[in-house]
Amino acid sequence: MTSVDPLRATGQIGSTSTTCPYCGVGCGVLATPDGRGGAAISGDPAHPANFGRLCSKGSALGETLGLENRLLYPMIRCSKGTMERIAWGDALDHVAHRFAHIVARDGPGAVAFYLSGQLLTEDYYVANKLMKGFIGSANVDTNSRLCMASSVAGHRRGFGADTVPGVYEDIDQADLLVLVGSNAAWCHPVLFQRMIANKQRRGARIVVIDPRRTDTAEEADLFLGLKVGSDAALFAGLLVHLADHGALDRDYIDRHTTGFDEALARGRSIGGSAAATALATGLAEQDVTSFFKMFAATARVVTLYSQGVNQSAQGTDKVNAILNCHLATGRIGKVGASPFSLTGQPNAMGGREVGGLANQLAAHMNFTPADIDRVRRFWKAPRIATHEGLKAVQMFEAIGRGEIKALWVMGTNPAVSLPDADAARRALKKLELLVISENVLSNDTVSSGVHVLLPALAWGEKSGTVTNSERRISRQRAFLPAPGEAKPDWWIVSEVARRLGFGSAFDFPSSAAIFREHAALSAFENNGSRDFDIGALSSVSDEAFDAMTPALWPHRLGDVEPPERFFSDGEFFSADRRARFVAPEQPMVRTATGMERPLRLNTGRIRDQWHTMTRTGTSPRLGAHLPEPFVEVHPDDAARYGLTDDSFARVVTDYGQCTLKVVVTEGQQRGMLFAPIHWSEATSSAARVGALVAPLTDPFSGQPESKATPASIVPYEYVFRGFVLSRKPLALPDHAWWARVAIGGGLAYLIADNADLKGWSSWLRSVAGEDLAEYSDFGGGVYRAASFAGEAIETCLFLGPAHDAGDWSVAKELFAAATLGDDQRRSLLSGKAAEGRAGAGPIVCACFGVGRTAICDAIASGARSAAELGAQLKAGTNCGSCIPELKRLIAQSGSADPDRAKLVAVS
Ligand code: SF4
């Protein structure tokens, strides 16, 4: 950021310690405002989650603080249908009046809140309290339902409470790390670096269990590429192996658990031997046996699981199949031994603590008569909800049926992220009242019929707490002034509550006051019967809250030294204090493939983007790694369906269709496709992958099956490819395929099309004016043009045949320059750098901007390790997120022609 942003100019001086707003690792961040609206970002060496490390996303936070597309004032849909600015008081009056009217007319079940794992705990607490205690409905759910609800349900079935037993230090101390359904190298990078450090320092072995061979598998001592949906079979087979090979902890089972015999009997029916398990999972028997032996022989084992386990119609059973193996060996609550759920979002855990899910009440209390009465008395609640509400998918189905008439969405984008996302959009448009608390002025949910838009504070402006995957509560602190009229989410909800007549229960002067009440509720009539207890923090002063250092829970009143791990005494939270073995159902994928949909679509995240890209999508650095939406296909399937690497394909399911770039890779299983979830209508023309996903859910957790939707794929031809670089957002012609990415100085639209090039020339004139430098060979299918403002490029369009559209990385470099020399100006339309250098290619190392071309050149010149590449190019020497990709490129050079040109072609 070069100029001073007047809305940011009064930012504080000095560095502020805060917490990263992305994944559940919960890294500590030091932010030092530059006084111009930006901030320098570094890892906080004192934070126990990361000890100073940040991944590529965290490192680029400073690039995401701009106010483009920022919602700065409350807005309301007026009678003409347009959104117009409104005063805060009027907006809040309107929201309260409409909610009150609909509740009075149709009852509390006709309204709902849809929250987000991006909210702070204090925001979550106030929203949950209002809906469940005062409006009288439990229709409060969250995008965390899409992320880790199966872990919650599995914990509750196994432990009697939603308790994460272990801590990150166990990852440092384990001798065996088993990653199930987790691409931690991309999705939890800093924690993954801790695993690698353990491997290097202590010799820990790593097993990766995943249908996809991801970058995480590059570090595995054993990779188990099992059939989709068969995780529970593998762990059922493991339980049988442990029983049959003398690896059980009989004493632990007898003293601290129930249900072992039933779980073992079910295990025998699912995977009674290594051979049967191999058959059920599609793995080689030898690999199954190796894994079983490793697990049986290693006392210190941590099993880490994530979305590949949770996002399943049998996700809860998968979780319990894993927990069963740890309970059977007593490997829980001990140093270096634990099952471990990796949460996806920065505050999924805080939402769980508050009870911000439709099937929880509050503070790890449930809809039992005793808990309902206890929470009612604590809140002095006039109308407490007495039964569970609707979970996310069911909530949107109820909206679609017209049963829910008012919805308040806070900090999330369900029109992109929900399964069957087109149905979710249609449902949103039916609402009588759609209120959205947001940072951005526009996104897919906002454009689905919003009635009231309320500007909420964003990361860097808001202040409160978040909890990471290991139960560590950290402060998010403000280091930038609030822009425009943006307010904290907790303030917005409290003001509406006040207008609904509940002022005395929502009279919070600060987030610290909310935190104190939240902590007091956790301890209220607890006496050790509930896991979540932070009573020791219930009287924290405002000053102490400001200064609070990261702290694990529990943190009970009177704890001299709070325990780090749960269950080290073998006591659980069920009525009899014993853990439960759960017999999983026969593993299966509930949807069937067939002639029409012969493949299965798996969805997930990529390394450098987060959710629907509203924040990461503004960073040029993060956009440079994988700028286009893609679908991964196995080479055999590519041959079968007529697809080639770098071509386009249409992916179709019963719910929708997308057009995506094809990446042919051995990492993908035959019969499976993989597509990332990040692109939306705002960032692409045809890549809203949520619209493809089946809305099937797990019967216990309500979490959708996002990993196995039956799908088909067909090639899709585009005659022309190219790109537009622009200083401002553009509306591209409807016929074009496009994907938008941030670049230095503006935006790039990567495009493909079949329409007449002369039409593109006219379009460019309509957006950039007549004063163009042009090169056209319409007969040869080439059109390149640029407009200039002073010495810099203003707009630039390249279109050409698919094999020769021009190198956008060269044009990007020239576009980023404030002034172009004559040579550069002349060379722009040639698509080649003036010095004759090749373009950088896709950026592999986001921290130092090292492209694949330079890396492949270095490998071709003899670099044979990530360390050597680091020494030569600095690639991989900061956050380390790209090291697996560096290793993969080196490995590919060994198995294929090491010629650079061939390497560059590997996508
Ligand atoms: S691993 Fe990366 S995204 Fe996750 S919290 Fe740390 S810096 Fe943020």
Res 8: pLDDT = 65
Q: How far is the CA of 539 from the centre of ligand 1 (A)?
A: 31
Q: How far is the CA of 509 from the centre of ligand 1 (A)?
A: 31
pLDDT tens, position by position, 143-180: 999 999 999 999 999 999 999 999 999 999 999 999 99
Residue 423: pLDDT above 90? yes
The whole-number average pLDDT for the span 776-789 is: 92
Q: How far is the CA of 244 from the centre of ligand 1 (A)?
A: 41
Report the nearest atom of ligand 1 relative to the CA of 23: 4
Q: How far is the CA of 55 from the centre of ligand 1 (A)?
A: 6
Best residue among 20, 216, 613 to mutate for probing ligand 1, ranked by most atoms within 8 Å of CB: 20
Res 906: pLDDT = 30
Hey, what are 270's tokens? 């699912």
Report the nearest atom of ligand 1 relative to the CA of 22: 3
Taken in order 207, 208, 213, 217, is the CA torsion positive or negative?
A: negative
Mean pLDDT, all residues of the chain = 93
Best residue among 17, 19, 22 to mutate for probing ligand 1, ranked by most atoms within 8 Å of CB: 22
Hey, what are 441's tokens? 């002025």
Q: How far is the CA of 62 from the centre of ligand 1 (A)?
A: 14
Cα–Cα distance list, 571 to 332, 530, 564, 763, 905 (Å)? 11, 12, 15, 69, 56
Q: How far is the CA of 193 from the centre of ligand 1 (A)?
A: 11
Report the nearest atom of ligand 1 relative to the CA of 468: 5
142 pLDDT band (50/70/90 cuts)? very high
* 188 DSSP 8-state letter: S
pLDDT tens, position by position, 768-779: 999 999 999 988
The whole-number average pLDDT for the span 386-396 is: 97
Residue 453: pLDDT above 90? yes
Res 883: pLDDT = 87
Q: Which residue has the higher pLDDT, 766 or 849?
A: 766
6 pLDDT band (50/70/90 cuts)? low
Res 13: pLDDT = 63
Taken in order 465, 466, 470, 471, is the CA torsion positive or negative?
A: positive
Q: How far is the CA of 189 from the centre of ligand 1 (A)?
A: 7
The whole-number average pLDDT for the span 885-906 is: 57
Res 907: pLDDT = 27
867/890 Cα distance (integer angstroms): 11
Report the nearest atom of ligand 1 relative to the CA of 346: 5
Res 833: pLDDT = 59
Res 426: pLDDT = 97
pLDDT tens, position by position, 57-72: 999 999 999 999 999 9
14 pLDDT band (50/70/90 cuts)? confident
The β-bridge partners of 304 are 179, 340
pLDDT tens, position by position, 597-619: 999 999 999 999 998 898 999 99
The β-bridge partners of 712 are 652
Best residue among 25, 621, 878, 881 to mutate for probing ligand 1, ranked by most atoms within 8 Å of CB: 25
The β-bridge partners of 747 are 726, 742
pLDDT tens, position by position, 484-541: 999 999 999 999 999 999 999 999 999 999 999 999 999 999 999 999 999 999 999 9
Report the nearest atom of ligand 1 relative to the CA of 50: 6
Report the nearest atom of ligand 1 relative to the CA of 58: 7
Best residue among 19, 55, 459 to mutate for probing ligand 1, ranked by most atoms within 8 Å of CB: 55
Lowest mean pLDDT segment, chosen from 155-164, 211-220, 303-312, 888-897:
888-897
The whole-number average pLDDT for the span 3-24 is: 77
Q: How far is the CA of 191 from the centre of ligand 1 (A)?
A: 9
Determine if the pTM surpasses 0.85.
yes
Phi-psi region of 646 (alpha: psi -120 to 50; beta: other; left: phi over 0): left
Res 574: pLDDT = 96
Hey, what are 551's tokens? 């702290």
What's the farthest any 2 CA atoms get from each other in the chain?
Answer: 83
Burial of 521 (0-12, 13-18, 19+ CB in 10 A): buried
Res 897: pLDDT = 39
896/907 Cα distance (integer angstroms): 14
Q: How far is the CA of 307 from the centre of ligand 1 (A)?
A: 16
DSSP string, 421-478: HHHHHHHHHH-SEEEEEESBS--TTGGGT-SEEEEBP-TTT--EEEE-TTSEEEEE--
Q: How far is the CA of 881 from the centre of ligand 1 (A)?
A: 10
Report the nearest atom of ligand 1 relative to the CA of 21: 8
752 pLDDT band (50/70/90 cuts)? very high
The whole-number average pLDDT for the span 119-136 is: 98
Q: Which residue has its alpha carbon closest to ligand 1 atom 2?
A: 55
Instruction: Tally Cβ neighbours within 10 Å of residue 423.
Output: 19
Cα–Cα distance list, 114 to 197, 406, 763 (Å)? 39, 11, 40
Best residue among 18, 19, 27, 42 to mutate for probing ligand 1, ranked by most atoms within 8 Å of CB: 27
The whole-number average pLDDT for the span 466-481 is: 97
pLDDT tens, position by position, 326-360: 999 999 999 999 999 999 888 999 999 999 999 99
Residue 80: pLDDT above 70? yes
Helix pair 852-860, 866-873: axis angle to 10 deg: 110
Res 236: pLDDT = 97
Q: How far is the CA of 292 from the centre of ligand 1 (A)?
A: 32
Phi-psi region of 746 (alpha: psi -120 to 50; beta: other; left: phi over 0): left
Residue 903: pLDDT above 70? no
Q: How far is the CA of 39 from the centre of ligand 1 (A)?
A: 17
| % of the chain with per-residue pLDDT over 90 | 82
Pocket of ligand 1 (CB under 6 A): 20, 22-23, 25-27, 50, 54-55, 57-58, 188-190
The whole-number average pLDDT for the span 90-102 is: 98
Asked if 137 and 102 touch (Cβ cutoff 8 Å), the reply is no
Best residue among 50, 469, 616 to mutate for probing ligand 1, ranked by most atoms within 8 Å of CB: 50
| % of the chain with per-residue pLDDT over 70 | 96
